[in-house]
């Protein structure tokens, strides 16, 4: 396992489409022995799809992949493992069996081998497990049940199991997302050790501190393409720039200042340790909440919509305290929210466009609890026209629409009735540019009678729709800017936390 620096994986011109979504576009990527390659990008940038192609979950549509000079095309994760590519997925619990002991987990591949022995001896399993952990110099409690272990130890078990196969490439997907500082430090030490042994490590993370500590090289993906590559010394502002976009659409519109204040947030602390902040959202303005993943954007929105509780602080809507203990209560209080990940959080896949659109407001279309088809259809048809939703009819299943049109249906749903605060969490994920513009246009057209908060990590998208951009970092709002005369550099510095802390306006 010598020759550090030699390429293990060579990817050229890789493409992958899912229906109308072009998830990976013409990607070239090299992974070298004995280096930690940080793969970065916002949600939906194409990282996960690229990784899934690498580890054999999805076949690529076109392009070539070479491992040690040999062209490969994996048809299953098993084939990728056989070729020396091992992955530890983000959700650790998918990679370990809770009910078994640590030793059994370590030896799991041995146990599951079809040609393996029928009867298992405890001592053989323990011996194999000791062998595996010796490779890594670990000292794990072999006899304990997996469920008794902390997150970091589980992670180490999953990694140890992957390493027992002597991998050429180890892919770590967000390994520190649920680890404490001390646990992460233990993991970093292990990764550095592996690097020294010549293993190529692909490290996916949004945490800048991880990247600082570990990465030899960073590749940034955005909208399905690899946008930039950075070598040591890494330019962190440059990385954030590449992730959130360079091209800011200046002058698409000038900022609307907003009239009276609708939402007043005071001394708001999301967690016991995060800094409290104040925030006003005004009628008629579109406010974009931006920040890196893990900055607390969604958590903040969930407090407003009643699916999470804040640690401290008050929220009033039109001067009245908002008491949202559930989405039902939030909607009744005039707060509407379209969640991130429309497939899981918004749409009922068995339902038609019509039925998906009107789901929250059936009461308004009902007489004596019976749905009046005419009223319901009229409301949906209006939204289809206003948002330029492309569908053969409102009765087709929602799944037959493209991602962008599905997202328009989600927005249309919440525009059927007027509200005081409309929250959209990452409305442009998996949405093509045409649909994105339609959504942005409609959002601004309808903004007059309400406050609008859009969560959006991509600054290019953010500046298309925003009157004001507020930045969140470490679960607190750290800055706010009008889009007029926006300084991208100041914004990026605030997002990544490298610049001086701007005072919140």
Partner 1 sequence: MSTPSSNPAPNPAAPAAAVQAGAAKSALTFKDFVIKFGLLIILGVMIVVFWRLEPAFANARNMFSILQAVSVTALLALGVTVTLAIAGFDLSIGSTAAMSLMASSYVMVILNQGTLLAVLVCLLLGAFIGFLNGVLIVKGRIPDLLATLGMMFLLLGLQLIPTGGRSIAKGMTLSDGSAATGSFTDAFLALGRYRLFDLIPLPVIIMLVAAVILWVFMERSRYGRVLYAIGGNEKATRLAGAPVERYKIAAYMISGLFASIGGILLAARVGRGDVTSGSSLLLDSVAAALIGYAVLGAKKPNVFGTAVGALFVGTLLNGLTMLNAPYYAQDFVKGLVLVFALLFTFGFASSQRR
Interface residues with partner 1 (CB under 8 A) are 20, 249-255, 305, 307, 326-328, 330-332, 337, 339, 344-351, 355, 359-360, 362-363, 365-366, 369-371, 388, 390-393, 396, 400-402, 404-405, 413, 432-435, 437-438, 440-441, 464, 482, 484-485
Using the minimum distance from each CB to partner 1, give the nearer residue, 121 or 369: 369
C-alpha to C-alpha distance for 104 and 125, rounded to whole angstroms:
6
| Cβ-based nearer residue to partner 1, 167 or 333 | 333
Q: Residue 171 pairs with which residues in a beta bridge?
A: 87, 202
Closest by Cα among 334, 295, 300, 302 to 316: 334
Nearer to partner 1, 159 or 423 (CB): 423
477: Cβ contacts below 8 Å, ≥ 6 apart:
277, 279, 470, 471, 504
CB-wise, 91 or 396, nearer to partner 1? 396
Rounded least distance, CB 383 to partner 1, Å: 15
Number of alpha carbons in the 13 Å side-chain half-sphere of residue 152:
16
Closest separation in Å from C-beta 412 to partner 1: 13
Q: How far, in Å, CA of 486 to CA of 456, rounded?
A: 16
Query: Measured from the CB of residue 39, what is the shortest distance to partner 1 in angstroms?
Result: 27
Q: State the DSSP H helix or E strand holding residue 108, giving kind and residue range, or none if neither.
A: helix 108-112
What is the closest distance, in whole angstroms, from the C-beta atom of residue 421 to partner 1 in the complex?
14
Nearer to partner 1, 127 or 396 (CB): 396
Residue number, 231 or 372, with CB nearest to partner 1: 372
In 224-379, at which residue ranges do the beta strands (DSSP E only) sit?
A: 225-231, 261-269, 277-282, 286-290, 312-317, 320-321, 335-338, 366-367, 370-371
Helix ranges, 245-400 (H)? 297-305, 327-332, 342-345, 353-358, 373-386
Q: What is the DSSP letter of 332?
A: H
CA distances from 271 to 175, 263, 302, 312, 313 (A): 22, 20, 13, 8, 11
Least separation, in Å, of the C-beta of 95 and partner 1?
A: 24
From the CB of 25, what's the least distance to partner 1, in Å? Answer: 14
Q: Which is nearer to partner 1, 92 or 330 (CB)?
A: 330
Smallest distance, Å, CB 284 to partner 1?
Answer: 15
CB nearer to partner 1: pick between 123 and 503: 503
DSSP label at residue 398: G
Give the strand order in the sheet containing 476-482. 335-338, 421-425, 451-455, 286-290, 468-473, 476-482
Burial string for 180-195 (b: 16+ CB within 10 Å, else e) reads eeebbeebbebbeebb
To partner 1, the closest distance from the beta carbon of 398 in angstroms equals 10
């Amino acid at each position: 396992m010598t020759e550090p620096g030699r390429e293990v994986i060579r990817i050229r011109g890789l493409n992958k489409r899912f229906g109308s979504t072009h998830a990976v576009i013409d990607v070239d990527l090299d992974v070298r022995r004995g280096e930690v390659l940080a793969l970065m990008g916002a949600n939906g940038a194409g990282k996960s799809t690229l990784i899934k192609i690498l580890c054999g979950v999805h076949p690529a549509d076109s392009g070539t992949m070479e491992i040690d000079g040999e062209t490969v095309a994996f048809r299953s994760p098993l084939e990728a493992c056989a070729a020396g590519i091992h992955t530890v997925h983000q959700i650790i619990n998918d990679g370990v069996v809770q009910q078994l002991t640590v030793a059994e987990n370590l030896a799991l591949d041995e146990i599951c081998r079809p040609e393996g022995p029928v009867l298992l001896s405890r001592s053989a399993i323990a011996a194999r497990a000791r062998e595996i952990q010796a490779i890594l110099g670990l000292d794990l409690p072999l006899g304990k049940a997996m469920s008794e272990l902390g997150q970091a130890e589980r992670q180490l078990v999953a990694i140890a199991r992957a390493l027992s196969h002597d991998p050429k490439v180890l892919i770590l997907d967000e390994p520190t997302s649920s680890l404490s500082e001390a646990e992460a430090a233990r993991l970093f030490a292990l990764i550095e050790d592996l690097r020294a042994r010549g293993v190529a490590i692909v490290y996916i993370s949004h945490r800048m501190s991880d990247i600082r500590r570990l990465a030899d090289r960073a590749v940034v993906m955005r909208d399905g393409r690899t946008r930039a590559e950075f070598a040591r010394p890494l330019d962190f502002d440059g990385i954030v720039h590449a992730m959130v976009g360079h091209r800011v659409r200046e002058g698409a519109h000038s900022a609307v200042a907003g009239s009276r204040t609708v939402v007043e947030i005071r001394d708001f602390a999301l967690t016991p340790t995060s800094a409290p902040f104040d925030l006003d959202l005004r009628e008629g303005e579109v406010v974009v909440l931006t920040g890196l993943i893990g900055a607390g954007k969604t958590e903040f929105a969930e407090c407003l919509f009643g699916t999470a509780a804040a640690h401290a602080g008050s929220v009033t809507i039109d001067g009245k305290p908002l008491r949202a203990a559930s989405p039902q209560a939030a909607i009744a209080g005039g707060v509407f929210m379209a969640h991130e990940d429309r497939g899981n959080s918004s749409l009922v896949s068995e339902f038609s466009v019509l039925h998906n659109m009107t789901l929250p407001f059936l009461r308004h279309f009902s007489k004596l609890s019976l749905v009046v088809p005419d009223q319901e259809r009229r409301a949906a048809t209006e939204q289809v026209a206003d948002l330029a939703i492309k569908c053969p009819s409102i009765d087709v299943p929602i799944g037959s629409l493209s991602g962008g049109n599905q997202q328009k249906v989600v927005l249309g749903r919440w525009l059927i009735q007027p509200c005081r605060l409309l929250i959209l969490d990452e409305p442009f994920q998996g949405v093509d540019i045409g649909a994105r513009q339609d959504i942005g246009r409609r959002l601004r057209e309808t903004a007059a009678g309400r406050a609008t908060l859009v969560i959006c990590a991509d600054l290019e998208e953010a500046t298309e729709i925003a009157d004001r951009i507020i930045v969140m970092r470490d679960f607190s709002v750290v800055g706010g800017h009008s889009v007029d005369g926006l300084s991208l550099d100041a914004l990026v510095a605030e997002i990544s936390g490298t610049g001086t802390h701007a005072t919140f306006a």
